[in-house]
Amino acid sequence: MTARERIAGNVAGYVDDRTGAAKWMKKNLTKVFPDHWSFLLGEICLYSFVILLLSGTFLTFWYDPSMREVVYEGSYEPLQGLEMSAAYASTLDISFEVRGGLLMRQIHHWAALIFMVGIVVHLMRVYFTGAFRKPRETNWVIGVGLLTLGIVEGFLGYSLPDDLLSGTGIRIAEAIIQALPVVGSYLAFFTFGGAFPGVAFIPRIYTVHILLLPGIFLALITVHLMLVWYQKHTQFPGPGRTEKNVVGYPLMPVYMAKAGGFFFIVFGVTAFLGAVASINPIWLYGPYTPGQVSAGSQPDWYMGWLDGLVRMAPPIETVTFGYTISWNILIPGLILPGIMFTALALYPFIESWATGDKREHHLLDRPRNAPTRTAIGAMALTFTLVCLLNGGNDIIATTFDLTINQMMWFSRIGVIVLPPLAYVITKRLCLSLQRADRDLVLHGRETGRLVRMPNGEFTEIHEPISAEKAWLLTSHEQLAPLELPDLDGGGVRRPGAIKNKIRNRISRSMATAVPKATQSERKELEGHH
Amino acid sequence: MSNEIELIKDPGLPAHVHRRADTDPKAAARAERQVATLFILSALGTVVLVYSYLFVDEDIFFFIPVLGNTNAHQLGLGMGMAIALFCIGAGLIHWAKTLMPDEEVIAQRHEFKSEDEDREDFVKTVKAGAAAAGLGRRPLIKRTLGAALGLSAISPVLLLGDLGPLPGNQLKTTSWKKGTRLVTDPGDRPLRPQDLEVGAVAQTLPEIAPGEHRSLNDIGKDAVLLIRLRPEEFNLDAERLSWTYEGIIAFSKICSHMGCAVALYEQQTKHLLCPCHQSTFDVTRAAKVIFGPSARPLPQLPITIDAEGYLVAQAPFNEPVGPSFWERST
């Protein structure tokens, strides 16, 4: 036994003597994880969160969360002698006086953008492959919570420098609070410690940004990961992969090295972006004052779709009994996003209700094999994308020489017309892909080799596909639609008949499919040849 | 059943294909060297970072294609850090992929559902526990506890009461009064009509006593845009026309939609545009909304001149400025 092995033995012994964890550790250190590039998306989120904690802590050492007015005397000449808040002045100091400060600020901001992209793309992966199905609904809901909090956290973060752009964003947030019926103006005054902008919001959102929300994030991320661990990761279908097993590599050493290495890669790439790609150059915007604004004011991308929604809202405001309701703010600012996030969080439950499928699923779906789900996803993405485009309508209009009115009308109509169109097209595409899969299994791969038959006929040679490929293309289940009765034995309408009817219809739509190829069909075709 | 449909069968996990490094010691040694090289590169990255921190001055700029004018100190720190971190990651992953075992392992899954017996026991335990507490049998305790818990939620809400004052009249009022002079922002100079040419725009604020401090809260409500047109270009009713002075008209600069500064004026069309959400207001028609999400015109400040010929407010704004709120009635 070498000295090193002895030490390892001693450490293991020390831990086990005090916790009795040997059995647990043995099982978990060799835990198997399936391999797929798309499983890295969640890891990107986790690692950028760690980067955010590290770089954020660095920034807190110099940032002064105060709206006390100071006169800038730092080294950035264009702003010297200007009155500004201590928050803005200290952010300028981080950028110009602290060595590596600008790098850290840029790493922090880039990591936040990567965090949000990671969450959205990870969510798309989970959605389109059906990974949210039983038993993982809870983790889906936690994920939607993390997405929502991420948007809020990001918004508060880029508001902290108290520059002209971020102050404008805060002003808009205040207008949304103020628009709430009955309690709006009270809530706004409580939030801002009086009239806008006041002197309270920077220290307040600082506490929320660096303490409250990161704490909630840590708790939710911990539960999210523990559930992934405990429930074991889903895997893509393929030869040898079943609902009852996990095929992959053990945690120790392969995944420790790969995942640990990937953390450094994500950090390295973020540092590279921080080094070469300028982001949020606050010194160009100047200090915040409510009487000014810069043209082309844009929020960060994950807020952009909400801003676009607000921009395209029709100008409706009603006054009843002397009280004002601003529909032009409430609908795009609160009601529509509220509906969207609620529907997103409830989707796993809605789908299982509609299909009647209450079984556990550990094998992922190929998106084409769940055409309705894929089409709904495409529809939601199209809606968000049109909103996002409209969030940059001024920039797009000036870049492409359009008028702002053309952009706005495109969005106003597009946001209603394009999502259903995306639904129909996506569903058709999925079914076409299923048909292509079926043809591939039954008739084999087109080789591109033409042969002339003795009778002069030309045919293309088809090569049979491998057994693995044939299994991959046919291993999915095709569920029959629900057939819930709406009449009882005596022909009388049952209570809940309408509900059953709706459920039958949705379930029929969910079950739309091109019948998958079977071995029987293959044999029959062989007989013909 | 002879015609039962036969499905395509799972051929099972394909046979493992070994990597070159598994069978060829030379390839393994090469992979080892590659991993080590990546780690050495990482160390060099750290050297670049330390060197930049200590020895590169912060005011050296040089030109790099694509990046433009770049600060050497900042670039050295960032690139050093990026190389140091990235190469550690690349090395670890290359190590895992070439030298660590790559044979796939199969672990079994088990349904999460427990045995029926265990589940029944679990339900029994819960029921027994609830029965032992006897909450169902003692409605008095249940109700008073419910009331106490409900009421205790008042305290945190109440204790947050000092987060801010009540709005009172603040959303409806501004600093403008009859006779308040309009002064330039920045500069605080009072304005005479002749200071503005036809087509000109000026940002103004109410005059304050010398030495007095203007708070951002005030600017957020008081900011006013002065625009001068030819009087015949207006399309206003008699009252609104009487609020202008020789073609000079004054509007709140705070957008009636969400409170951004309505900062873009198009001289040709006489439109004001808010850069936040593109609400567009027609100056000639008392800032009527002609496009975008805002539902109300910008409030107008009635103006005239005082005895010394300076522009002053005739009266406060005709309606509350800024975004809507529940209690605003017009």
**Contact residues, chain A, for B263 at CB < 8 Å:** 292-293, 295
Distance of residue B94 Cα from the nearest chain A Cα, in angstroms: 8
Q: Is A324 in contact with B325 (Cβ distance < 8 A)?
A: yes
Total Cβ atoms within 10 A of residue B234: 18
- Among B70, B205, B323, select the one facing A179 at the smallest CB separation: B323
Residue of A161, A204, A170, A179 lying closest to A63 (CA atoms): A161
Of A245, A266, A293, the CB nearest to B107: A245
The segments of chain A whose pLDDT lies below 70 read 1, 488-489, 528-529
Distance (Å) from the C-alpha of residue B149 to the closest C-alpha of chain A? 24
Q: How confident is the model at residue B3 (pLDDT cuts 50, 70, 90)?
A: low
What tokens were used for A380?
């939601």
Contact A481, A510 (CB under 8 A): yes
pLDDT above 70: percentage of residues in chain B: 99
d(CA A364, CA A128): 9
Q: How many CB atoms within 10 Å of residue A238?
A: 18
Longest dimension (CA), chain A: 94
The separation between CA A469 and the C-alpha centre of its own chain, rounded to angstroms, equals 31
Distance CA B176, CA B218 (A): 10
B294–A171 C-beta distance less than 8 A:
no
Closest Cα of chain B to A485: distance in Å?
A: 28
Q: Which of A245, A260, A288 is the last residue of a domain?
A: A288
Model pLDDT, residue B134: 82
**Run of H or E residues at B184:** strand B182-184
Chain A residues near residue B58 by CB distance under 8 angstroms: 99
Mind telling me how many Å the CA of B327 is from chain A's nearest CA? 5
What's the rounded Cα separation, in Å, for the pair A163 and A196? 15
B187 residue type, one letter: G
User: Are the beta carbons of A244 and B109 separated by less than 8 Å?
Assistant: yes
Domain encompassing residue A487: 441-528
Supply the pLDDT for residue A1: 65
E-assigned strand segments in A109-259: 245-250
- Contact call for residues B195 and A225 (beta carbons, < 8 A): no
Cβ-defined contact of B166 to A189 (cutoff 8 Å):
yes
Using the beta-carbon criterion (under 8 Å), do A245 and B106 form an inter-chain contact? yes
d(CA A263, CA A306): 31
Q: Do A313 and B13 touch (CB under 8 A)?
A: no
CA A54 from chain centre, in angstroms, equals 23
| Selection from A102, A106, A84 nearest residue A93 by Cα | A102
Does the distance separating the beta carbons of B164 and A189 come in below 8 Å?
Answer: yes
Flag if B96 and A475 touch (Cβ within 8 Å). Answer: no
> How high is the pLDDT of residue A440?
94
Average pLDDT of chain B, as a whole number:
92
Cα angle value A340/A343/A346 (rounded, 5°):
150
Q: Which whole-number Å values give the CA distances from A366 to A427, A511, B232, in the listed order?
A: 13, 14, 69
Q: Which residues between 77 and 136 in chain B have a beta carbon less than 8 angstroms from any beta carbon of chain A?
A: 77-79, 81-93, 95-97, 100-102, 104-109, 111-112
Beta strands A69-71 and B61-64 are unpaired
Q: Give the closest residue to A362 by CA, choosing from A485, A228, A487.
A: A228
pLDDT at B83: 98
Choose the mutation target among A196, A247, A411 for the interface with B, i.e. most B CBs under 10 Å: A196
| Rounded mean pLDDT, B118-135 | 90
**Number of structural domains in chain A:** 2
Rounded distance, CA A175 to CA A362, Å?
A: 46
Does residue A382 lie within any of the structural domains? no
Q: Between A and B, how many residue pairs show a Cβ–Cβ distance under 8 A?
A: 324
The pLDDT of residue B1: 41
Q: What is the CATH number of domain B182-313?
A: 2.102.10.10
Q: CA-to-CA distance for A39 and A148, rounded, in angstroms? A: 21
| Gap between the Cα atoms of A322 and B327, Å rounded | 7
Q: Look at residue B135 and tell me whether its pLDDT is greater than 80.
A: no
Which class for B2: exposed (0-12), middle (13-18), buried (19 or more C-beta within 10 A)?
A: exposed
How remote is the C-alpha of A357 from its chain's centroid? 25
In chain B, the N- to C-terminal Cα span, in Å, equals 80
Find, among A489, A488, A490, A512, the residue nearest to A500 by Cα: A488
Cβ pair A310, A91 in contact under 8 A: no
List C-alpha distances in Å: A413 to A84, A386, A417, B208. Answer: 43, 10, 6, 49
- pLDDT tens string B76-109: 999 999 999 999 999 999 999 999 988 889 999 9
Give the largest Cα separation in chain B, rounded. Answer: 110
Last residue of a domain, one of A239, A257, A288: A288
**What is the CB neighbour count within 10 angstroms for residue A236?**
17
In whole angstroms, what is the distance from residue A529 CA to residue B276 CA?
Answer: 68
CB atoms within 10 A of CB A198: 21
- Is A385 inside a domain boundary? no
* Contact indicator for B293, A317 with CB cutoff of 8 Å: no
Residues of A in contact with B5 (CB under 8 A): 518, 520
Q: Kindly report the number of other CB atoms within 10 A of residue B251's CB atom.
A: 24
Determine whether the interchain pair B324/A317 forms a contact, defined as Cβ–Cβ distance below 8 Å: yes
Question: What pLDDT is stored for residue B287 in this prediction?
Answer: 94
Please name the residues in contact with A261: beta carbons below 8 A apart, sequence gap of 6 or more: B88, B89, B90, B91, B92, B93, B95, B96
**Residue A328, domain member (yes or no):** no
φ/ψ bin of A483: left (φ > 0), alpha (ψ from -120 to 50), beta (otherwise): beta
3-class SS of residue A390: helix
* Per-residue pLDDT, B330: 67
Q: Nearest CA to A318 among B270, B65, B330?
A: B330
Mark yes or no for CB contact B8/A474 under 8 Å: yes
Q: How many CB atoms lie within 10 A of CB A28?
A: 12
Closest residue in B to A198 (Cα–Cα) = B217
What's the pLDDT band for B2 if we cut at 50, 70, 90? very low
Q: Taking CB atoms and an 8 Å limit, are A103 and B78 in contact across chains?
A: yes
CB A231 within 8 A of CB A237: no
Q: Do residues A301 and A116 make contact, with C-beta atoms less than 8 angstroms apart?
A: yes
Q: Which helix (H) or strand (E) holds A432?
A: helix A404-443
Smallest CA–CA distance, residue B8 to chain A, in Å, is 5
Q: Which of residues 217-256 of B touch A (CB under 8 A)?
A: 217, 219-221, 223, 253-254
pLDDT of residue A528: 65
Torsion of CA A296, A299, A305, A306, to 10 degrees: -110
- Does the CB of B275 have a partner CB in chain A at under 8 Å? yes
To the nearest 10°, report the CA torsion of A528, A529, B1, B6.
Answer: -140
State residue B144's pLDDT score. Answer: 94
Q: Which residue has the tokens 């002069």?
A: A456
pLDDT in tens, A159-184: 999 999 999 999 999 999 999 999 99
* In chain B, domain spans: 20-98, 182-313
Sign of CA dihedral B266, B267, B268, B271: positive
- Interchain CB distance below 8 Å, A246 and B327: no
- Of A271, A288, A305, which one is at a domain's C-terminal end? A288
- Judging contacts by C-beta atoms under 8 Å, the chain B residues touching residue A99 are 53, 58, 73, 77
What is the nearest CA distance from A490 to chain B, expressed in angstroms?
Answer: 35
**Does the distance separating the beta carbons of B258 and A257 come in below 8 Å?**
no
In three-state secondary structure terms, B151 is helix
Residue B69 pLDDT greater than 90, yes or no: no
> How many angstroms separate the CA atoms of B223 and B204, rounded?
6
What span, in angstroms and rounded, lies between the C-alpha atoms of A418 and A429? 16
Q: Cβ contact (<8 Å) for B78 and A408?
A: no
Instruction: Tell me what pLDDT residue B223 has.
Output: 95
Q: Tokens representing B239?
A: 């009252």
For residue range A22-61, what is the model confidence (pLDDT) as tens digits? 888 888 888 999 999 999 999 999 999 999 999 999 999 9
Measured CA to CA, the distance from residue A313 to residue A336 in angstroms comes to 11
ipTM exceeding cut-off 0.90 for this assembly:
yes
Return the residue of A nearest to B256 by Cα.
Answer: A175
Interface test with B, best of A231, A292, A409 (most B CBs within 10 A): A292
Nearest residue to A155 via CA among A143, A167, A145: A167
Give which of B166, B184, B168, B171 is closest to B317, Cα–Cα: B171
Contacts of B209 (CB under 8 A, 6+ apart): none
Token pair in block for residue A297: 């004011």
